[in-house]
Amino acid sequence: MTRIAVFGTGYLGATHAACMAELGHEVIGVDVDASKLAKLEAGEVPFYEPGLEEVLKRNLAAGRLRFSSSYQEAADFAEVHFIGVGTPQKKGEFAADLTHVDAVVDSLAPLLTRPAVILGKSTVPVGTAARLAEKARSKAPAGDDIELGWNPEFLREGYAVQDTLHPDRLVLGREWSRTSRVEDVTREVYAQLLDEGIPFLVTDLATSELVKTSANAFLATKISFINAMAEVCEAAGADVSVLADAIGHDARIGRRFLNAGVGFGGGCLPKDIRAFMARAGELGADQALTFLREVDNINMRRRTRMVELVRDAIGGSLLGTRIAVLGAAFKPDSDDVRDSPALNIAGQIQLQGASVNVYDPRAIENSRKIFPTLEYATSVREACSGADAVLVLTEWDEFRNLHPSELDRVVRGRRMIDGRNCLSPVDWISAGWEYRGLGRPSFTPQRSSMGYGEGLASTTLRLGRR
Ligand code: UDX
């Protein structure tokens, strides 16, 4: 058992704190936001993350987990201090804003009077950890007895508990010039995971920081690759979903993260590739990452393309039309709307004169804060009522399992525009709907009666675990 403090109680920090307690450690979660702390103390997760509430409640009840706003309490209590605060994009710049990460070290270090280990989890530009290690040692009364390592997180929202307790791998960056204490302590903290045989890679600080950024850059590139193929498919009248299935069978390529659609969003991929480019520039290695600018461009173009597709389907102008938007979260099983393609598209369509009614199973509250002028519905049917077109922009199961008969008499125009290629075109076409997907030929009921429907029936839409 190790006494652990986790600084930051957002998506990353709250999950990490609860999961460390689940591993049997004694944990204190620290944040400056009193309202978040109050909720967590009461066993309530301030955001939607499947399975987290159970872990939180169980460990609060067992007395292994508590929350506090007091750095002093954390410094007195813990031997290991995890940094799990956010590193958002700087306003008006590509670079990451490190204010919160620095603030944790600035507040904590002066209180460290005993030997302690600091483990960073936040995604930071390469070079940050070494700088923070120096800073922590210079500010801490315990001075040279402070060790800092970097232990990046790879958790996906929606699978955060599983990704924390059963990760694909654990990575630790340490300063080789110093003792092995950081590594020894990290091995103790994750002993249960290491016993399960989860790969543990120990490296220098810079490599550990780069592992995280390059993993996200690769994932973003994979998505933009298939979205670039979608653009070509659109121009050539081909079907990107079948193409993804076919190339995905090649084990070297793999089918996961090859779902074409409105592209990636969220609190990680978009800002991480931008921060990576900015940092490479500072290091004089900007040429190496110029392709990420294109990855970003392709991704942002998908949103505009979706708006064009809707405009086209509806007859050339959105003015005065009613559009139903199903999905607001940046991906399913999340209430996170940070840089959400769905909300961005909904906003653009509204700007072009349509009235837009949005429904999402979890993300309405967060959406309202960012886009208060959109209309929000409490059900799929309500959102689709009188709609000239229905847009699926986040592939929640509730939308994937929709049957045309549920909406036939609700909508004004039977047009389904599938921004995630997650529906079966043949189901909608055979029910008399017009179906359009991104990177797929458009299918109207007339065309399907000429044989397109049968062709599509053999197309299995596989959406693998993300
Ligand atoms: C990501 C990384 O996966 C995770 O390892 C890292 O720690 C944090 O960033 P997350 O932001 O939770 O996790 O979402 P992810 O599942 O990666 O999806 C990112 C975006 O890509 C979503 O908007 C999703 O809809 C989109 N996406 C994903 C696609 O458009 N196509 C795909 O095939 C897969």
Q: Which amino acid is at 279?
A: R
Q: Helix 99-108 and helix 128-139: axis angle, to 10°?
A: 20
CA angle 436, 437, 442 (to 5 degrees): 40
Distance of alpha carbon 58 from the chain centroid: 26
Q: Which of 209, 299, 331 for mutating ligand 1's site (highest number of atoms within 8 Å of CB)?
A: 331
Q: In this structure, are residues 84 and 119 in contact, taking their beta carbons and an 8 Å threshold?
A: no
Burial of 196 (0-12, 13-18, 19+ CB in 10 A): exposed
Q: In ligand 1, which atom is closest to the CA atom of 331?
A: 25
DSSP string, 175-209: -TTS-SHHHHHHHHHTHHHHHTT--EEEEEHHHHH
CB-based contacts of 110, cutoff 8 Å, min separation 6: 139, 140, 141
What's this model's pTM, rounded to 2 decimal places? 0.94
What is the whole-number distance in angstroms between the Cα of residue 451 and the centre of ligand 1? 36
- Domain(s) labelled CATH 3.40.50.720 in the chain stretch across 3-198, 238-462
Which pair of tokens denotes residue 448? 């399907």
CATH architecture entry for 238-462? 3-Layer(aba) Sandwich (3.40)
The CB of 154 under 6 Å from ligand 1? The reply is yes
Q: What pLDDT score does 458 carry?
A: 38
Separation between Cα atoms, residue 146 and residue 142, nearest integer Å: 7
What is the whole-number distance in angstroms between the Cα of residue 102 and the centre of ligand 1? 27
The residue nearest atom 30 of ligand 1, judged by CA position, is 263
Q: What pLDDT score does 441 carry?
A: 87
The CB of 261 under 6 Å from ligand 1? The reply is yes
What is the whole-number distance in angstroms between the Cα of residue 265 and the centre of ligand 1? 7
Local structure of residue 145 (DSSP, 8 states): G
Point out the catalytic residue in the list 233, 268, 384, 422: 268
Q: Which of 211, 245, 253, 269 for mutating ligand 1's site (highest number of atoms within 8 Å of CB)?
A: 269
The CB of 47 under 6 Å from ligand 1? The reply is no
Q: Which of 52, 89, 154, 156 for mutating ligand 1's site (highest number of atoms within 8 Å of CB)?
A: 156
The CB of 220 under 6 Å from ligand 1? The reply is no
- Residue 389: which H helix or E strand, with range? strand 389-392
Name the 3-class secondary structure at 323: strand
The CB of 273 under 6 Å from ligand 1? The reply is no
What is the whole-number distance in angstroms between the Cα of residue 96 and the centre of ligand 1? 19
In this structure, the number of other CB atoms found within 10 A of the CB of residue 290 comes to: 11
**What class has domain 3-198?**
alpha beta
The CB of 15 under 6 Å from ligand 1? The reply is no
Which pair of tokens denotes residue 321? 């039309």
Q: In 62-199, where does DSSP find H-type helix?
A: 71-77, 99-108, 128-139, 160-165, 181-189, 191-195
Q: In ligand 1, which atom is closest to the CA atom of 420?
A: 30
Q: What pLDDT score does 444 carry?
A: 66
Task: Output b/e per residue, 328-337; b: 16+ Cβ within 10 A.
Answer: bbbbbbbbbb
Q: What pLDDT score does 446 carry?
A: 60
Distance of alpha carbon 213 from the chain centroid: 14
Separation between Cα atoms, residue 89 and residue 338, nearest integer Å: 11
CB-based contacts of 122, cutoff 8 Å, min separation 6: 8, 12, 83, 84, 85, 86, 87, 100, 101, 153
Establish whether 384 is a catalytic residue.
Answer: no
pLDDT tens across the length of the chain (466 residues): 999 999 999 999 999 999 999 999 999 999 999 999 999 999 999 999 999 999 999 999 999 999 999 999 999 999 999 999 999 999 999 999 999 999 999 999 999 999 999 999 999 999 999 999 999 999 999 999 999 999 999 999 999 999 999 999 999 999 999 999 999 999 999 999 999 999 999 999 999 999 999 999 999 999 999 999 999 999 999 999 999 999 999 999 999 999 999 999 999 999 999 999 999 999 999 999 999 999 999 999 999 999 999 999 999 999 999 999 999 999 999 999 999 999 999 999 999 999 999 999 999 999 999 999 999 999 999 999 999 999 999 999 999 999 999 999 999 999 999 999 999 999 999 999 999 999 998 766 665 433 444 444 434 333 333 3
Distance (Å) of CA 321 to CA 228, 271, 311: 30, 34, 10
Task: Output b/e per residue, 59-77; b: 16+ Cβ within 10 A.
Answer: bbeeebbbbbeebeebbeb
Torsion of the alpha carbons at 11, 13, 18 and 21, rounded to the nearest 10: 160
